[in-house]
Amino acid sequence: MQKWPMINKNITMKIIRSITILSLLGFVCGAPISIDNDDEKILITKSMFPKEFIKYKAEHEIVNLLLPINSLNFDEDESSESSSEETEKEILLFFVEADIDSNGNRVDQGLYVLKEGKATKLLDHGRDAAASGDDSKLVFFGAKDGIYVYNNKNNSADKYGTVDDSIIGIAKEKTGDVIYILTENHELFKVSNAGTTKEKLDDVVNAKQIVLDYSDNIYFYSDDKQAYVRTADDIKKIEGLPENPSSVTLIKPPFILENAVLFNVDNIVYIIYANGTSEHAGFEFKPKVKPSAYAPEAALLQYYAYDKNIYEYNILTIIFGTVLEELKNYLNKVSDDIQSLSTKSRKYRESA
Ligand SMILES: *[C@@H]1O[C@H](CO)[C@@H](O)[C@H](O)[C@H]1NC(C)=O
Ligand SMILES: *[C@@H]1O[C@H](CO)[C@@H](O)[C@H](O)[C@H]1NC(C)=O
């Protein structure tokens, strides 16, 4: 059984203060550590998915991935920051399997938890998962017959509240008990009061997918495949995106992005902001090399599903691990590269 270092969120923030999300994603995407050309976007090819990074092999397509960044996986305790000891903790990952028929429809193949290297099916008809972003351990599941909550003690799913809709998407506000559910007939509801109060959000019409940012803004797209954001004030169309895309996916953001989520538009990834603007995230996927599910939430520990496998990207191991073990002599050179990369990222930021 493999153990992974638990990464304290405060330490993570420190590490990535100089290495921005753009270059971070560059690392993940298998780009060389030194990037010479500032204007060049990183193209993600099959080499981004090396066998050594496979964490789990599934039997069906993996259509959803969730890495809870609450206390289930990450210690919020400030005191552990000063400790030099690295705490080892097994990461809990949730995923949904489905078969996709020739019309693009999903046939449920179950919602699973990956715990201590072992996958356990929690729900036959679970379709999506959402977690709090605070120091609770809450993880909710949207299923064919309503909402379930993860029971960590028994490694099972318990029915939650009174909702019995057929749910295809679920999202959770960072704290508190507000949950959003997207039903099979594409209606969005706000659920609160321990799952007993359900309120239809009439201003969101025919949403195909929903994702929340860490400021509780709701992003969605409809038949026009354009992204919209619903803030506390209003609904805005995101500007600056391609006009007639054929395929789009909303992606849960790494926690370091506050008023934004990621949006894959025909394999080009954008950061879309709650103020209605957008920008290139700096990388794109080669055709047919697009992940089927994404979990970049924890930033330094990311998971992607591709071709029925879940891949794990432990950024610190990628940057330092191999280097320390196999290329000790090059350590200085690499830290120079990281230095220049962070300078480069700042430049990118300034010119963006
Ligand atoms: C775990 O399962 C057992 C047996 O079904 C049950 O009695 C117990 O209440 C459950 N524990 C929790 C915390 O739900
Ligand atoms: C929108 O928000 C982003 C991120 O906070 C910011 O960089 C950008 O300047 C904002 N744009 C406008 C037009 O307010």
pLDDT digits (tens, 9 = 90+) for 269-314: 999 999 999 998 877 888 888 899 999 898 888 899 999 999 998 8
The whole-model pTM stands at: 0.82
pLDDT at res. 338: 52
| Residue of the CA atom closest to atom 12 of ligand 2 | 275
Rounded CA gap, 195 and 158, in Å?
A: 12
Q: Are 262 and 253 in contact (CB under 8 A)?
A: yes
CA 228 to chain centroid, in Å, comes to 19
Ligand 2 near 309 CB (within 6 A):
no
- Kindly give the number of the ligand 1 atom that is closest to the alpha carbon of 153: 13
pLDDT at res. 45: 79
Rounded CA gap, 136 and 152, in Å?
A: 12
Rounded CA gap, 141 and 191, in Å?
A: 13
Ligand 1 near 151 CB (within 6 A):
yes
Ligand nearest to the backbone CA of 350 = 2
Burial of 7 from C-beta contacts in 10 A (0-12 / 13-18 / 19+): buried
**Which domains does the chain carry?**
9-344 (2.120.10.30)
pLDDT at res. 32: 40
Ligand 2 near 231 CB (within 6 A):
no
The phi, psi pair for 125, rounded to 5°, reads -115, 35
Which residue carries 């960072």 as its tokens? 174
Ligand 1 near 153 CB (within 6 A):
yes
Q: What is the CA(215)–ligand 2 centre distance, in A?
A: 15
Ligand nearest to the backbone CA of 257 = 2
Ligand 2 near 277 CB (within 6 A):
yes
Low-confidence ranges of the chain (pLDDT < 50): 1-7, 14, 17-23, 29-38, 78-87, 323-334, 341-352
